[in-house]
Structure formats: C-alpha cells, structure tokens
Structure 1
C-alpha cells in the first residue's frame, strides 16, 4: 500500500535487462528489473510510478466488457486493421483460409468441439502470419534505423506488445497484427529503438520520433483498443 492505495506488484529479476520496465497484465502490475537492483531502489521506483499505476488500473477497471467470441458464421474478425466475416462450413478435413472479405473455416460435421477447433485454427493462422509479417517488417525497418536484431519471435503476451532484450532479441505479441499497419510499424520501431537506447528516456523517444513521427497517436490507439484485440 502506498498513499492509501492498494495494488500488487510482481517483480521479475533477470540478467536480460539493464533498466527497469513496468507494465500491466490484467490488473497485476509487473516490473522487470536487473537482477542486481536493490529492494530499496525497487521500492523507490514503485513509489515514483504510483500515479501512473493508479491511472492504468483505473483505465482497466473502466474498460467496457468485450463479448466473448462464439466462432460462428457471421462473427467479425480483425486482421491488419480490417474486419472480415467468419464463414463456417463442414467438410472432410479442417482448414482456415482468408478469402476476400471472409475467414473461411471448415470443420468436420461430427466435431462436437467445433468452436474450439475454429479458435485453435485461427490462433495458428494469426501466429503464422505474425511471424512472417513482423519478421519482414522488422528486418526492413532495422536496416533503415541501422541496427541488427539477434532474433525475432512472437508469443502470447497478455498486456505487452513487444520486448527487446539487451542482446537484441525482439519478441512481439502476435495479436498486434489485428491492428492497422501504422500501429504495427510503431510497435516495431518502438522495439528496434531500444537497441539504440535501452530505456524510455527523452533520448529514446527522440529516436522513436525520427522513425515514427505519429507514435503518440499510435500509442493512444493501442491504449484505447487493446482490450478488444482478442481472438
């Protein structure tokens, strides 16, 4: 409790970072800190960031509830900022394809768990296209910025869009490909610029500004829409 405000902080100590980062996963505040950072410094950082934490937790509590998907024909899905209608049919084998303005899902007629089958196929499809698309975009922008990532991967983050280790390992939340392309470009630039400045200092944001001048709009878009970017 700080200033009468109760919240939980999950501190993750690691040798893979050189500076402190703080973020939310649902209603849990998480911190990634260098392994050698003292408890006193951690507490000081939390105290300093308490106003930010209060604001973020308030935003989470006020978000409108997003209706869970049912994976039935007519449901809308997003990809690269555009919406596509789901079309479910029965066949001899399962498949998922993007055809025109439709996500076409084929499931076995006797499948008693068709909805879960469709969800699994969609996640696999999105992850595969995220790996390909984000790798290409990262390589392209890395050359412009003048850095060379050690690796590029995707994973299922709950509340982060990406991360960059001090070794240059860049990891993205695959769900970012639901967003429009300018938002994706911003996320890529955000992580690549950490290879120039491994923090969120004013120098870091100057780098981001140089390669993504609309970064404020993009960041605000993510804040507003992140809760609805789900499969």
Structure 2
C-alpha cells in the first residue's frame, strides 16, 4: 500500500477516535475556504488597565493597657431604722395605738429625752440621735391619751381667733402687756417713745410710711420685752436658786421659750402682747428647766415652787396661739 494511503487511513482512525479534536482534514480545509483556521490561536484581547480600589483608612484608637473604668455603682439608700439622726425626718409617720392610728412628724436633736408636742392638731416628736423608731412609738403609745386630748382640744378651739390685722394710722390700738397702747404722731418728736401710760408716739415724718412705722414699733416692743424679761428672770432665778448665763429674744412661731443645758434662755418677744401673768408663767417654766431638763413631775414641782398658779395661767396661754398675734 502506498505511503499516502497509509497516512490517510491512520488519520481517519484518529478522527474516529477523537484523538485530534482540534485538527481538521485537508478536505475540511478545502471546503472552508477563507474561514479562519481553528488551529491558529486568536490573539488575546488587549488588556484594560485596572485602577486599584483604595479603601479609606479608618482611624484606630490607640490601645490602652489600663483596665476599663466601670461606671460608679448607684448606691441604694439604706432603710430608715431611726438611729440615723443627722438629717431631720419631716415625713408624716403613723403609729398604731389600739384600733386607731396617730400620725406624727419626727426630728432629731441633742436632747436626752423624747419630747412630744401638739401644734395645729398635729403631733410632733423630737428624739435623741440614737433613739429608734420603735422606742419613739412606745412613747407615743404610753402618752396616747394625752395626745388625743390635746388634738381634740385644738380642734375644738374657736376658729374665729385669727391673726388680727394691725392698723398703723393715728389713733390705732396696739396690744401691750394685756392692755392697749394708742398710736400717735408728733411733729416735735425725734424718736419713738411713750407719751403717758397708754400712748405710743412716733415722729410725724413717718406717718405716711406704714413699713417704717411697723419697723419702729416692732423694734420698740422688742426693746421693752428684753428689759422686762431680764428683770423677771433675775427675780425668779433668785427664788429658785439657779443661775442663767444669757437671756435673748426669740421670734419663733410655735413656742414661747427655750432653755439650754448651758443656761441660755430664749423668750419669744411676742409675749409683750399678752397679760403679765402669762409672761411670768413662761419665765418660771424655762427657769425650772435649770433644775429638770424634762417635763416630769419633778419639773412641774419646780414650776409650782416659784409660780403656784401656773396651772390656770397655762390653760389661759393655750387660748393665745402665736399665729393670732398682730406681728
């Protein structure tokens, strides 16, 4: 067999076996004409320059080696046990007395005993620093009858006794030691002062200024009150055999006087409006505290020793609440 026939036969077998899938026969070449030769590899398309994507750089905080700081813990207030006495407790508390409740306010002080008072039909307690609530309420239960009587007494007090409106015109009346002074104005007068037993005169230059009149009258009343208080305290202290370190005026709206363990006595200057007997009782009351810093039977025995009629005068004084006075 000629060599050309052998070659053609081998090529046909190879095509049948798909050994040269990318090759073509001479016949195929002739039939395709100018068709692109599949054996010739096409050039790769021109590469397009690619601009690299640059990501923005985020700021990074420097790493600290210090431990993280935790927020301060919120401390819950401790429950009130009555032993903390630094701040006054003005909340309205309630104490069960049998089948009834008695409401009260509690404040703390350096006093040695529990003090009970009823003002405006409300019980007020003053207790030493370290006295517990349970001890305070034991005192309330022990005094419940007295407390109820005081509250009832104040609730039954005539409501007509309101603060009187003080007039400052010529001829107006001003209460003074249970009596009355008549206000007047004198062109020749340079300062406020008494003109007779029942007339208080002021310079005529202030007649049209009520604020100035009130200031002058109040100053004069306080001056008179201090002089009278000092004299009465000296007399009663001599009877009781006690000493007083200092006497001063008070402008309190809820109490007539006070006495400290050091011997300082303060008296409400508005006592000058009331009868002298009531002034005497308050002086005797405060001086008795120089013997007994409480209101025990021993204390009242001291009051009675220098002012025997204190019981009657004390009841009369209760009919004159400080809030009813003109200044």
Q: Same fold (TM over 0.5)?
A: yes
Structure-2 residue corresponding to 1:152: 247
Per residue, is there more helix in 1 or in 2? 1
Over 6 Å off, 4+ runs: 90-93
SS of the equivalent of 2:107 reads strand
User: How far apart, in 2, do the equivalents of 1:205 and 1:41 lie?
Assistant: 24
Residues 26 and 158 in structure 1, CA contact (< 8 A), matched pair in contact too:
no
Structure-1 residue corresponding to 2:135: 41
Match status 1:96 vs 2:196: no
**Which structure's CA Rg is the greater one?**
2
Shift of 1:34: 1.9
Structure-2 residue corresponding to 1:178: 273
Residues 76 and 86 in structure 1, CA contact (< 8 A), matched pair in contact too:
yes
| TM-score (normalised: structure 2) | 0.61
Structure-2 residue corresponding to 1:132: 227
Moved more, 186-195 or 124-133: 124-133
Match status 1:81 vs 2:178: yes
**RMSD of Structure 2 on Structure 1 (CA):** 2.7
User: How far apart, in 2, do the equivalents of 1:61 and 1:180 lie?
Assistant: 20
Residues 248 and 267 in structure 2, CA contact (< 8 A), matched pair in contact too:
yes
Shift of 1:65: 2.4
Structure-2 residue corresponding to 1:229: 325
Contiguous gaps of at least 5 residues in structure 2: 1-93
Indicate which of 180, 192, 206 corresponds to 2:301: 206
| TM-score (normalised: structure 1) | 0.83
Per residue, is there more strand in 1 or in 2? 1
Distance 1:92 1:105, change over 3 A: closer
SS of the equivalent of 2:130 reads coil
Contiguous gaps of at least 5 residues in structure 1: none
Match status 1:188 vs 2:286: no
SS of the equivalent of 2:200 reads strand
Which has the higher relative contact order, 1 or 2, with Cα contacts under 8 A spaced 6 or more apart?
1
Residues 14 and 34 in structure 1, CA contact (< 8 A), matched pair in contact too:
yes
Shift of 1:204: 1.3
Structure-2 residue corresponding to 1:32: 126
- Within-5 A mapping of 1:14-25: 14-15=109-110, 17-24=111-118
Residues 8 and 28 in structure 1, CA contact (< 8 A), matched pair in contact too:
yes
SS of the equivalent of 1:108 reads helix
Distance 1:96 1:4, change over 3 A: farther
SS of the equivalent of 2:303 reads helix
- Equivalent pairs counted in the alignment come to 226
Moved more, 161-170 or 23-32: 23-32
Residues 18 and 166 in structure 1, CA contact (< 8 A), matched pair in contact too:
no
